[in-house]
Amino acid sequence: MKARQKKLYKTPEAGVLRVAYKDDATALNGERREIFAGKGRRNNQITSLIFRYLKAKGIDSHFIEEISETEQLVQEVEIIPLEVVVRNVLAGSLAKRLGKSEGELIEQPIVEFYYKEDALNDPFINDDHVLFLEVATNREVEILKQEAKRINAALTELFKKAGVTLVDFKVEFGRTKDGSILLSDEISPDTCRLWDVETNEKLDKDVFRRNIGNLITVYDEILARLEEVVRNV
């Protein structure tokens, strides 16, 4: 069982939840776990900034507002059990699967689905598997792919202004009461691979996964750079 990095609470308002970001970091599907004091605050602030930015670019999400250093209010949705991954540069599990080294540019961004099922270690699945499992309809699959690409284009531009290459990222979507698809969960250095444009230094959770640096230092760097970008737009 993966340790949860966020906790969801009901609020007095129907359809509105409170998310509290925790300081836990996990890797290897929960086998490694560590607490980093202040990680929750950074991820809350980075996710809030990104969801606000996406909204300004016409991409809606479950985000309503940031209510404290570590908490947000979000719209309640029914989460679709898929991790939707978009890749711009070869890295991580895809580099491994294809037997190639990390760093190769992917000209046409690749969208992938992973089935969110802890007992199975979130396996990679294709569109037909998604339909077979009945986790999304054909139409929804098309929307998920299209939205993932739109999010990728907007985020690539944002991170580029921050001197960061958006290598890959994972997003999750939910269904609202009226059945529409809404971007949900979080977008942070926990869920993105972020490399410095000049040096390719890793500024994301890989510093923890691979034991190659200080997680809080690099998350701070990402927050500071993003704040600088949004201040100047």
* Residues near ligand UDP, by CB under 6 A: 83, 85, 91-94, 122, 168-170, 191-193, 205
Contacts of 217 (CB under 8 A, 6+ apart): none
Q: How far is the CB of 147 from ligand UDP (least distance, A)?
A: 16
**Can you tell me the distance from the alpha carbon of 20 to that of 36, in angstroms, rounded to the nearest whole number?**
15
Residue 31 or 128: the one with the smaller Cβ distance to ligand UDP is: 31
**Closest to 228 in 3D by CA, of 161, 145, 130, 146:** 161
CA angle 141, 142, 147 (to 5 degrees): 100
Q: How far is the CB of 192 from ligand UDP (least distance, A)?
A: 5
Q: How far is the CB of 122 from ligand UDP (least distance, A)?
A: 6
Q: How far is the CB of 174 from ligand UDP (least distance, A)?
A: 16
Residue 81 or 92: the one with the smaller Cβ distance to ligand UDP is: 92
Sheet with 6-10, edge to edge strand ranges = 6-10, 16-21, 71-75, 63-68
Residue with tokens 């598997």: 129
Residue 45 or 191: the one with the smaller Cβ distance to ligand UDP is: 191
Residue with tokens 């996990």: 26
Q: How far is the CB of 231 from ligand UDP (least distance, A)?
A: 26
Residue 47 identity (one-letter amino acid): T
Residue 67 or 115: the one with the smaller Cβ distance to ligand UDP is: 115
**Can you tell me the distance from the alpha carbon of 69 to that of 49, in angstroms, rounded to the nearest whole number?**
12
Q: How far is the CB of 62 from ligand UDP (least distance, A)?
A: 17
Residue with tokens 């309640």: 76
Residue 72 or 152: the one with the smaller Cβ distance to ligand UDP is: 152
**Can you tell me the distance from the alpha carbon of 195 to that of 207, in angstroms, rounded to the nearest whole number?**
11
Residue 67 or 111: the one with the smaller Cβ distance to ligand UDP is: 111
Q: Which residue is at the shortest CB distance from ligand UDP?
A: 92
Query: Backbone phi, then psi, for 118, in 5-degree steps?
Result: -50, -45
